[in-house]
Amino acid sequence: MLEFQNVTFRYPEDKEPILENLSFQVKDGDFASIIGSSGCGKSTIFRLINGLEKPQQGQILVNGEPIEKQRRYTAFMPQKDLLFPWCTIEKNLTLPMELQKIPKEEQKKQCTAVLEQIGMTEYRNKYPRELSGGMKQRVAFARTLLAGGSLLLLDEPFSALDFLTRVEMQEWILEQWSYWNKTILFITHDVEEAIFLSNIIFTIQECPFSTMKAVNVPLQYPRNREDLRKSDITQLKETLIRQLRKKEML
């Protein structure tokens, strides 16, 4: 379980903290989404979990232990695929394992397993430029899996994709989440995407924020798009939009 306990963080160039006494929890196996408008600090939460930034106050715990003591607990997938254009798909995938000094045989084995699971075995020796946007995101997700963390931090991974690819990728990511049995923390601007993917949604309603409102999504997995038309779901969508609008009006 990931737990933020009264975390306060301020960027050195800012006068005010972007997060103030923030507390929330993500349980193991959750698919949790964070929604909120731009500049509110959603990505800052990821930077803190990743260790790229350190909170000025409070602590981030993993199963009751400070996150700094955890080895390879998280893996991060940014908005852009950030595949290295000079590396083949296989090289891109094995990169995190190489950096962790995992033996070559093991790297190859894990890479093969992931490529099979994402249905891209034949692209092993291709370069990123030879792949479509959706394929690149699949490879980026696979690389995140191979980075070895049990908590995957996905920062608007589908925002740059066209509508149809995005829909396809949403369904695909749910399959992958269920197959690999990971915990996912997902940042998005899209309320419908958050509802379709998550079992719990955190909304940011103020800036700087100290609380995130947690809303459970009353849908079972596996899901399909028809579920989004259910009356309680459309109602949930409206509620979330209202909450987000309230923030904008503040």
Residues that bind other proteins (CB under 8 A): 50-52, 72, 74-76, 78, 80, 82, 84-86, 95-96, 99-100, 127-129, 147
Judged by beta carbon, residue 52 or residue 113, the one nearer other proteins is: 52
> What is the 8-class DSSP label of residue 179?
H
State the nearest-atom distance from the C-beta of 76 to other proteins, in Å.
5
State the nearest-atom distance from the C-beta of 49 to other proteins, in Å.
10
Judged by beta carbon, residue 51 or residue 222, the one nearer other proteins is: 51
Look at the chain and count its residues.
Answer: 250
Distance CA 58, CA 2 (A): 14
State the nearest-atom distance from the C-beta of 39 to other proteins, in Å.
17
Judged by beta carbon, residue 52 or residue 214, the one nearer other proteins is: 52
**Shortest CA distance to 119 belongs to which of 93, 138, 95, 92?**
138
Distance CA 111, CA 4 (A): 33
Burial class (CB in 10 A: 0-12, 13-18, 19+), 1: middle
The owner of tokens 């980026």 is 140
State the nearest-atom distance from the C-beta of 154 to other proteins, in Å.
13
Asked if residues 240 and 196 have their Cβ atoms less than 8 Å apart, the reply is no
State the nearest-atom distance from the C-beta of 97 to other proteins, in Å.
9
State the nearest-atom distance from the C-beta of 147 to other proteins, in Å.
6
Judged by beta carbon, residue 187 or residue 215, the one nearer other proteins is: 187
Judged by beta carbon, residue 82 or residue 113, the one nearer other proteins is: 82
Q: What is the maximum span of the chain, computed from C-alpha positions, in angstroms?
A: 56
Judged by beta carbon, residue 91 or residue 237, the one nearer other proteins is: 91
CA 25 to chain centre: 15
Amino acid at 19: L
Query: Before 222, cis peptide (omega within 30)?
Result: yes
